[in-house]
Every structure is written in C-alpha cells, then in structure tokens.
Structure 1
Amino acid sequence: MPHHILIAEDSPSQRQLLAKLCRRLPGVEVHEASDGRWALQLAQQITQLDLVITDVNMPGMDGIALVQAMSRLVTLPALMFLSGDVPELLSGCTRAAEELGFSHVGHCAKPVDPNELLAQLRLMLERQTGGTGPEIHITLADIMSGLAHNQFCAYYQPIFDQYSRQAVQLEALARWQHPAHGLLGPQFFIGRLEHDDAIMLLTRRMVQTSLDLLDRQPWTRGLRVSLNLSRSLLHDGDFFDWLLQEMETRRIEPSRIVLEITETLAFNNLGNTLASLLRMRMRGFELSLDDYGTGHTTLEHVRDLPLTELKLDRTLIHDIHRDRRSWSILKATVDMGRQLGLRMVAEGVQNPDDFTYLRKHYPDLLLQGYYLAMPAPANELRQRLRWMADGADSASA
C-alpha cells in the first residue's frame, strides 16, 4: 500500500515543487489542494492519509484552521507546516497541533531546503507508519504472542559527550520484529500494554537484555544505559526489588543505570512519586526527567526531585539555529540545569545546523539524535560509539 501525502499550498509553483520533491520518496501517492477547504475535503476522502504538508498562511481556510478541522478525523496524519513568516509562528503552530492530538509534527521555513525537507519527510513517514505499510491493526493478543515468541528486542541510541566525541550513554528502545509487518516501533504496542497493565512483561525483557549487554560486552565498560519507566512501574515496589536483584546477580553498579520518567508521570501523585524516586536514588540509580519542556514543570518541581539528569525535549532543539525565541528558552533552561548540578541531554539533534549551533553555544550538553547516530541493535552498536564522522565532525569544523 502506498503512503498518501496531501499538500495544501495556494502558490501553484510552490505546490508543484513540493509535489515533485515528495514523489522522490519511494512508494508515495501525492494529492494536491490549492486551499484549506479543498485539502480538508480530500483529507476526509482519503482512507489512509499518512502525511499533510500545509502552508500556514493561505487565503480562505488557512493552515491553522485546516489543522483544527483535521483534528476531528478518526486517524490523525503526520503534519508538516511551511511558512515564510517569523520562526516563532512555525513553533507556535507545531505546539498547537501537538495539543490538538497530532503525534508527529514538524515545520520548515520558506524557501525550503529540498534536502532538509526530504530528510524530515522520510523521518516523519517512518515514525507515522513504523517503517511499514500504512494499514496495520495490532491487538493485545498479537502483542502477547510476540512476547511469548521472543519477537521483541532492544535497539540502542547513543548519547554523546561533545568533548570526547564518544558515546557515554545508551538509551534502550523497544522494537518488535513482527513476522508479517517487519520492524515496528513503540507506537504499535506501548500504549496498548500500558492500557491493559501488561507493560511489566516488556519492561522486564528490556531490563534483562540491557543488563546482559553491560555484563557480557567488554566494550560497554564506562557506558550508562537509560531505561524508560511507565506510570505503573514507578510505584511498584516489587519491580524495584526485582531490578536490584537482577543487577546484583550481574554485579552491575546502579550508577550505570539511568531511569527515565516523563514530566507528566513525575508530577502525577507527587508524594508517592517523590518517595519512589528517593528510594531509587538512595540505592545509587541515576534519575532523568525526560521530554523536559513539553509540560508545565516549574523550577520548584525540578529542585524537589532527586534528579541527576535533564533531557531537553526535541521541540526545544529543532531549528534552534534560527528560532530566536527558543534561544532565550534554551539558555534559561540550561542555566537552571547548571545551577542545580544536573547533567543535560539535548534530544532530537536532526540536522547539521542545529548540531553546529549547540557545539558553539552549549559544548557541555550531551547530544542525542538521528544526525549523530540512529538507534541500532546491540550487534551493530560497537561501531556507532563515536559520532558518525564526516557528517558531524565536518559540520563542527
């Protein structure tokens, strides 16, 4: 099945250029509309719409109104905003779309850089569809069968120190090697497992696989591994005791494990959350606040949690090289982290311009993103522990 891309652009020449670019992507079918109303009609008619590229400022129904109307669709596509206006407008559109429920949202300033736009579109389609054909229906029974047949595995994305240009940390990411659909990302199974209180089964598998990696591979010496904690596991004392036992069996120090929680998770039922985190920190685990910048965390909240790490969300990092409003936000956030003595990770480093900006202005940040290294299985990881030279190194020269 092809990936369906819808372009909403009132300029015929721009629309033609975008359509031509999109058709360079494999397996796509492109639909074109000259205004928001026509685009909405097409969006309602296309059975499986994967990606919408829309100009923000169009006569009649503009791109923002189009996205508001599309938020009522049964299945929401990925979104790419385009605009020649100030960068702050694009950033605001992205945040508004995310609040409306769109999971995969990007933006690109006009005039577009064809290579940058194509790279973003490829990534968005991969995330939207999991790298597979668009129509995939997964049940809890399918997931449980996959777990029973050892179809789930861990991929790892390196996190780099800028001074040494070496990986110092690996984030463990769950993948499903589905017998019919190929490699599936977490959007196909994490939500269902959490909803049905079955996330423990997958988390234990990820923990054991990651601890075995640290225990059995000499080249992992000195590396930390980040593991994501779900809401149910954060308050599960039995899971914490089991984790300690697994580490003691392999003689792995707790300081090599980074337990990641999201902003939303951290401040739901704050008393119990704080008690759980204090217990983990007492035993020597590293604690990270993930996706920082997407919620409503205050300085007081961050101060009260026993954190060792702050992960700056990709929405703060994307297009940081030209988004002047984000410059002030990022500076304030980094200054706060430094004052609290926190290690900080910039997530979502996807292009050479953002990479170069961070190298110049924030050399103490750890960096993570597709521009530096893609997630990989353990057997391909060793050669990725130094950031992918030519691209990254030449960009910082």
Structure 2
Amino acid sequence: MPCPIFVLLPNAKKKYTSVNQEEILSILRRAKRAFATIESENELLKEICRIIVEEGKFVFAWIGLKDTSAEKKVIPVAEHGMGTDYLNEIEVKWDHSALGQGPTGKAIRTGKTHINEDVEQNPDFAPWKELALKYKFRSSVAIPIQVRKEIYGALNVYGTEENSFSKDVVSFLEDLAFDLAHRMENLRATQELDNMYQLLRKQSIRLQLIYDNIKDGIFLADIFGNYIFANPAGLEMIGYTLKELKKLRIENLLVKEEIEQKPVMYDQMYKGKRLTTIRRIRRKDGTTFLAEIYGQQLPDGHLLGIMRNVEKELQEEEDLRRLAFYDAELGLPNKNFFKHSMENFLKQNEEEPSEAILAILNIDGFNRILDAYGKEVSHKILKLIGKYIQTKIEDPDFWAYAGGDEFYLLMQGENPIEKLHKFFRALNREEASVFSIPLTVGAGYALFPDHGLTLSALLNKATIAMHHAKNKGSGHISEYDAQMKAEAKKILDLQKALADAIQQGELRLHFQPQYNMQGKELVGIEALLRWQSNGEILYPGTFISLAEDTGLIHPMGKWVLRKVAEYIESNKIPKSVQVAVNVSPVQFHSIDFPEMLSAIIEEYNVPASQITLEITESSFFRDIGQTLDLLRKIKKMGFRLSVDDFGTGYSSLAYLMKLPIDELKLDQMFLKELGKIPRTEKLIESMIHLSKHLGIDLVIEGIETKKQADFVLKHSVIGQGFYLSKPKPLEEIFV
C-alpha cells in the first residue's frame, strides 16, 4: 500500500529506499532553514509540523510536550493540518492509565517510537478511536523527542490509510525528531544564557545551577581579560580550580604560539563582534588541546566565552586526510597529495608564472630487486629514498611516492635545474653507500611554464624525458626537449587517431552494473568509454589525459552523453535504472557545458533525472563560488550529481553541506585498505553515516572480493565492482 508522503521507487538508492527523494529534499531544505533561522522554540515546533504536512503530504501532525507534574499530561504546543479541533476534544497522558496507553504516551514513557498501524483495530487507541475516525485518521506514529536520556515530548503524525508508515518513513521521521530535539536543547540553553545575565547579580545560585548543567566550558572575564568565573565543565577542561583561575588572564591559557593573536581576539570582541576561533589551550598540568571558542562582549563590558574541546574531532579529520594523502603501507605522501599540492602551486602561478621543475624519479631495475629480495627489502628501499628526499628538499618544494618504483618532485626558486641536478647526484651517491646491492635512480623532468601549464602536461613530458633517461642507461637524468621527436610524434599520432576515432565511430560504451546490495537489485549502470582501434580495445587510461590536453575531451564527452540519451530514448535502458556518466574536469568547467546538456535532453526528449553526472572531487573545489552556480544550473535541469572518487581529496564538510549533490562515490582505495589499517573500517562507516544523515546516496566502488562484498552488504548501500559484474556491452546486461 503506498504511503501518503512517499512513493515506492524501485531504483531509490538513499538510506530511505521507499522515500520520494524530491519530497525528502524539500523537507530537509525547509527543516534546515528552520533550524538555522527560527530562534523561538514554539515557532520552530509549529514550522516543523507545517513542513511535515505541506511537504510530506500527511494530513495532520502535532507535537506534545510532557507535563512533569503529578497529572502527567501531554500538552499540545504545535500542530498543522486538518486535526486542530481534534486536539481540542481529546486528552492524552504519559502515565500508566488508559489515557497513557496510546502511541504518544508510550513514546514519551519508554523513549521508543510507537506505531499505530490501524486506528480501528488497535485496542490501546480506544479512548480516541471514534473521534479519530471522524477526522478520517486511520493510522499514526509517535516518535519521542529526546536528547540523551531526557525526553521533551513526542512528534505525532497521522495518515488516512492503514499501515501508512513504512520502516523507511519511520526512520526518516525519527532522524527529523532527533535533529529537532538537539535544536530544542540548543534553544533552551541559549535562552537560559540570555536569562543568566539578567539574574547574574540577584540570583547567583540559580545561575550556578544552570552553568553546572552545561557540558561546554563557560568563562567570564572582566574588560581587562582577568578571569572572574567559570562553570564546572570549564574548570574540568583546563584543570584549574576557580580560585586559581581568578589569578589568571585570558592569555595565560593560550600556548606560546597563540599569545600573539591575543590583540586580534580582544579587538574583535571590543568592537561588538562575535569571536569564533580555534585555539590551542594549555591545561594546568602543561598538556594542551584544541578548543573551539565563541566569545562576545556583554553590555556591561564583561567578556563571555564558550569553549568546546575539538581535539578528537579534528584528529579524526586528520586521520581521513592522512588516509587520502599518504600511502597506507609506506606512510609516504602519495599521488593525491602531489596532485593537491600542484593544484595550489598552479593557482598561485596563474598570472605571473615562476620557473619550476617537475621531475619523475625512477629506481633502476626495481622489479629485479623485488623478485630477488622480496617485498620487505623493496619497501625498505622506498622508505629510505622517501626519508632522504624529505630531509633534502625545503619549502616550498614538495614530493610524493607515485607508486611502483617512482617518485614525483617539484622544485622551485632560483636555478631549479642546477638544484635538481645537485640533488640527483647526491641521491645516487647516498643510495650507493646505503645498500650492499647495486642501486641507482634515473630521472626525467619538465620545465614550468615552458613545457606545460597543467599537471597532466608536465607529467606527460617528464615521463617522456624519464623514459629517454632510462634508455641511456642506469643513473641518468634527462630534460624534456625538442630532440625527443620520436616520443612526441607518438603522442601526435595518437592525438590524430583519437580525433579520427570520434569521427569514424570507433568509440564504444560498456556499462558496469550498480546493485542495491541489500536486495541484490540492479539500480544503476555506469557508462565506461572504450576505443576500438584496429581490432584492439583501448581503455580510458591510455587516451583521456591526451584528450583533455588537446581539447578532444569536449566532442568525446558530448558523444558519450548523446549515446546514453539515445539508449534511454529507445528504451534500451529501463526507466527504473540510473545511468552514471563520468564528466572530465575540463569538460565540466567549459563555458558551454550546461547549454550542451540542455540541448541533448531536449533533442532526445529524455528525463534528465535518469542521468547521474559523476564529477571528480577536485573539480568541485577548484573555484567554489563558480562551481556552486554551475551545479545549481545543472541541478535545475533535473540531472543528478555525484562526487566521484570521494575521499581522495581534502573535502571541506562545510562545502559539502552547500553543494546540491545527490550522491557520493567512495573511492576504491578505502576498500583495498580494509583489514590493513585499523581505522579504515571506522572511517568508511563514518562516511556511510554522514551520507545517510545528509540524505545523500553512497556508492562504494571497487568491490573485488567476497569479503569486500560482505562488508558493503552489511551497511545496505549501493555496490559496484568486478566481483559483482565486469563492464559489459549494454545488450549483455538487458537481454
């Protein structure tokens, strides 16, 4: 039986699989706006009821707060819908009497959700049955509004059909009630703080009681920065007694490096502005922690500060960053780190490029060493080389382990060529003296800006130069130059062949299925490009970078989108199956990209909502302002948006909240590290929880083993990988 708020979607991929996603997004948007803007608890509760009815299509919603007196009544404080008079005619309690046995009373008494599947058949609902049927209420659900062990009341929602509340509907309403409860706690705490100042002089005992029950540290200082008060949570946080604290000034709690920021902090508060900052705080015992501090000057000149320990929270973010930017086995900075650092370097050098060198270092005969001495010795060699590089280069130079037997290095400043050659000679001398086995390093490098203005262009040319050096023998270094015509000609030939391939119909699409792991249901497919050249199938890794560098990515990307639209229009792809299309960063940021999308949808008359555009994480954060405008324009057309390779960059959660995205696609490196790094499973689970809480789909790709498939199955998300299915032509998927 369909639910009044939601429509069953066979291809739904969110946490709430039976939920109409547009209605959910609408509810979330309005609820988020209400939480952020409404300062009155009563008005907030009324708005939440209004949102549930107007956006969720339920007939009636009301919120009742519990009366803590001996009567234990449930007091309606907010409602919306067709049952306003219904509340005037009923009485509800949360005790053990007959009036306390309904869903609302039980929810408040037990702290658990209670579902009334059939008003007419539920004996516990007898006191309200006749009146409920008069208003055509046939089912209801009551959800406790609860923070930790404290229950404020219950959220009650009514439907006009029996069994209106599926598991996913109830789960969504429980999440909404959870957020509402925490916002109510914040509003009540804020209200108490507002009252606190008014009663500070006359009612100090009551003030102390309020302060004692607030978990964050609250500090009060005079206009000169001398501490005069702190609540117990604050004193416990810093390890001082109140008597000891009164002998200190604000700067006495700051570590030495933070003290110079004191004038800036004071100046901001003295100007009437609210201070929001993160500072390292020193405890009495000398240990330190990172604290998030909110400060403001009160009307009488006193300085009020609220402090929260965020050390653990920031450490978890750093762990996530380290997993993304450092090799799991070797602990060395990886390609993602180098790419991130290069993006910053290129941005800083857009207008007036300064000379620099991108070099690729390659260990000569490393495969023979691996075969002869094994993985342990090989890893030791890589770590020692990494350690040597780290000790010899200076800011702003940076480096990374690129995998296999290669390292990337960027050198800047005066005479970078001379500096690189000096470093290269010293490195080979170091390696010869450290190991008993013969060991040398070869290198190739390209000049910025002479040889390229992008990372891919510089890497391509440094790679050509590196191969040129390797061809000369061990321990050689080569600069990319015009004499390397043979390599350059190969690239030009490939470019011409690729251009011809687009015109002559040599491009093909294969599709890799995506499954709802819980129900083993096919919910989507990812379009993957192939190039059939002279009877050989070429994969994107061999030509995408070239296409991006030469601009061929634009007609190629357009061909892919047109082909997908053609398949949808001809019903070769069922309407219930989402189609994911990879979008190159170059194509995404092109001026006419939105117009091209609109033209294709109009030409083939297909729903944009069936197409998910997968855009790499780095593309989103290149220019966040411009990106937001572009994403909103694309989203308005109806396309679904996915962050591809999520977790390989350093995403800001604040930006993630702003982006109008529908899906996160977790990079396959996370699954590969399962069982290797203790925190990997927890990090994946935290990202799963984050996506579900935000109402964003999560797709985990790279499932290559049964163990990985079982892990994904346990978390009820979308899975993709060779273990489930290899990429295939479309006709092999939909027979």
| Greater displacement, 248-257 / 280-289 | 248-257
Instruction: State how 1:89-100 maps to structure 2 within 5 Å.
Output: 97=403, 100=407
Residues 296, 54 of structure 1: alpha-carbon distance in 2 compared, 3 angstrom cutoff: farther
Matched, 1:150 2:505: yes
Q: Which residue of 1 aligns with 2:262?
A: none
What is residue 380 of structure 2 aligned with on the other side? 62
**Contact 1:234/1:273 (CA < 8 Å) preserved in 2?**
no
Residue 288 to residue 255, structure 1, CA distance change in 2 (3 Å): same
Q: Does 1:371 align with 2:723?
A: yes
**Mapped pair 1:42 → 2:360:** no
Query: Would the alpha carbon gap of residues 299 and 56 (structure 1) be closer, same or farther in structure 2, given more than 3 Å must change?
Result: farther
1:344, 1:168 → 2: CA distance?
Answer: 13
Aligned to 1:171: 526
TM alignment of 1:1-397, pairs within 5 A: 40-43=363-366, 55-58=374-377, 62-65=380-383, 97=403, 100=407, 137-138=490-491, 139-179=494-534, 182-218=536-572, 220-320=574-674, 323-360=677-714, 362-363=715-716, 365-382=717-734
The 8 Å contact of residues 594 and 633 in structure 2, kept in 1 or not, is answered as no
**Displacement after TM superposition at 1:163 (Å):** 2.8
Secondary structure of 1:141's aligned partner: helix
**Once the 2 structures are TM-superposed, how far is the Cα of residue 185 of structure 1 from its aligned partner?**
0.4
Q: Is the 8 A contact 2:670 2:680 kept in 1?
A: yes
AA aligned opposite 1:186: P
In 2: Cα distance, 1:45 partner to 1:310 partner: 40
Q: Deviations over 1:249-289 (max 9, x none)?
A: 32211110111111111101111111100111122110000
Write the deviation string for residues 77-132 of structure 1: whole angstroms up to 9, x where unpaired: xxxxxxxxxxxxxxxxx98739946xxxxxxxxxxxxxxxxxxxxxxxxxxxxxxx
Q: 2:518 touches 2:713 (CA, 8 Å); kept in 1? A: no
Letter in 2 for 1:226: A
**8 Å contact kept, 1:321–1:353:** no
Q: How far does residue 368 in structure 1 lie from its aligned partner after superposition?
A: 0.5
How far apart are 1:302 and its partner, in Å?
1.1
- Structure 2 gaps, min length 5: 1-361, 390-399, 409-486
- Measure the CA separation in 2 of the matches of 1:95 and 1:344: 29
Q: Percent identity?
A: 26
Matched position secondary structure for 1:376: coil
**Aligned equivalents of 1:52 and 1:208: distance in 2?**
48
2:69 is matched with: none
- SS of alignment partner, residue 592 of structure 2: helix
Query: What is the rounded CA distance, in whole Å, between the counterparts of 1:270 and 1:167 in structure 2?
Result: 34
Q: How far off is 1:379 after superposition?
A: 2.2
Please give the alpha-carbon distance, in whole angstroms, between the structure 2 residues aligned to 1:66 and 1:178. Answer: 43
Question: In the aligned structure 2, how far is the partner of 1:304 from the partner of 1:232?
Answer: 22
SS at match of 2:641: strand
Q: Per-residue displacement from partner, 1:345-382 (whole Å, max 9, x unpaired)? A: 0010011111112212x11x100000001111122222
| 1:134-176 alpha-carbon deviations (Å, 9 max, x no partner) | xx95521121121121111111111111233122111111110
The offset of 1:217, in angstroms, is 2.7
- RMSD, aligned α-carbons: 3.2
Q: Indicate if the aligned counterparts of 2:572 and 2:734 stay in contact, CA closer than 8 A.
A: no
Work out the CA distance in 1 between the residues paired with 2:590 and 2:618. Answer: 18
Q: 1:122 maps to which residue?
A: none
CA contact (8 A) 1:227 1:258 kept: yes
Q: Compute the displacement of 1:222 (Å).
A: 0.7
Distance in 1 between the 2:611 and 2:702 partners? 21
CA contact (8 A) 2:517 2:712 kept: no
AA in 2 matched with 1:209: K
Task: Give the length in aligned residue pairs.
Answer: 281
Q: Cα distance 1:149–1:349, how it changes in 2: closer, same or farther (>3 A)?
A: same
Secondary structure in 1 matching 2:526: strand
| TM-score, L = length of structure 2 | 0.36
Return the index of the structure with the highest Cα Rg: 2
Deviations 1:37-56 (A, max 9, x none): xx95424999xxxx989855
Deviation of 1:319 (Å): 4.5
Summarize the Cα distance change of 1:184–1:339 in structure 2 as closer, same or farther, 3 Å threshold: same
Runs of 4+ displaced beyond 3 Å: 43-46, 51-56, 65-69, 94-101
Deviation at 1:234, TM superposition (A): 1.9
| CA offset digits 1:267-324 (Å, max 9, x no partner) | 0111111110011112211000000111101211211111100000001112525642
Contact 1:56 1:63 in 2 (8 A): no
Amino acid at match of 1:155: H
Question: Could you tell me how far apart the structure 2 residues matched to 1:309 and 1:285 are?
Answer: 12
Provide the rounded CA distance (Å) in 2 between the counterparts of 1:55 and 1:255.
Answer: 51
Aligned CA distance change for structure 1 residues 327 and 241 (closer, same or farther; 3 Å): same
Matched-pair contact (CA < 8 Å) for 2:512–2:725: yes
- Note if contact 2:513-2:524 (Cα within 8 Å) is conserved in structure 1: yes
Letter in 2 for 1:42: G
Deviation at 1:237, TM superposition (A): 4.5
Name the SS of the counterpart of 2:376 in structure 1.
coil
Q: Measure, in 2, the Cα distance between the counterparts of 1:264 and 1:140.
A: 26
CA contact (8 A) 2:609 2:639 kept: yes
Q: Is the 8 A contact 1:56 1:64 kept in 2?
A: no
Specify whether residues 54 and 152 from structure 1 end up closer, same or farther in structure 2 by C-alpha distance, changes over 3 A only.
farther
Q: 1:95 to 1:284 in 2, by over 3 A?
A: farther
What letter is aligned with 2:661?
Answer: L
- CA pair 55-280 structure 1, distance change in 2 beyond 3 A: farther
* Matched-pair contact (CA < 8 Å) for 1:321–1:354: no
Q: Judging changes above 3 Å, is the alpha-carbon distance between structure 1 residues 225 and 264 closer, same or farther for their aligned structure 2 residues? A: same
1:228 CA displacement: 1.5
SS of alignment partner, residue 721 of structure 2? coil
1:378 to 1:270, Cα distance in 2 relative to 1, 3 A: same
AA in 1 matched with 2:724: L
Q: Which gives a bigger RCO, structure 1 or 2 (Cα 8 Å, sep 6+)?
A: 1
